[in-house]
Amino acid sequence: MARKTTGGKYKKVKKKKLTGRQKESRVPKLGERKIKLMRGRGGNEKLTLFQENIVNLNAEGKTQKTTIKNVIETPSNIFLARQNILVKGAIIETELGKARITNRPSQEGNVQAILI
Q: Is the pLDDT of residue 5 over 80?
A: yes
Task: Say what percent of the chain tops pLDDT 90.
Answer: 66
* Strand, coil or helix: 60: coil
Compute CA distances 45 → 19, 40, 61, 109, whole Å.
Answer: 17, 6, 30, 11
pLDDT band with cut points at 50, 70 and 90 for residue 55 = very high
Q: Is the pLDDT of residue 1 over 70?
A: no
Pairwise CA distance, residues 40 & 113, whole Å: 26
- Tell me the pLDDT tens digit for each residue of 17-49: 888 888 788 889 999 999 999 888 888 998 899
Can you list the domains of the chain with their CATH numbers? 25-115 (3.10.290.70)
Q: Is the pLDDT of residue 53 over 90?
A: yes
Pairwise CA distance, residues 97 & 105, whole Å: 20
Pairwise CA distance, residues 80 & 21, whole Å: 25
Pairwise CA distance, residues 9 & 97, whole Å: 63
Task: Say what percent of the chain tops pLDDT 70.
Answer: 99
pLDDT score of 100: 96
pLDDT score of 107: 87
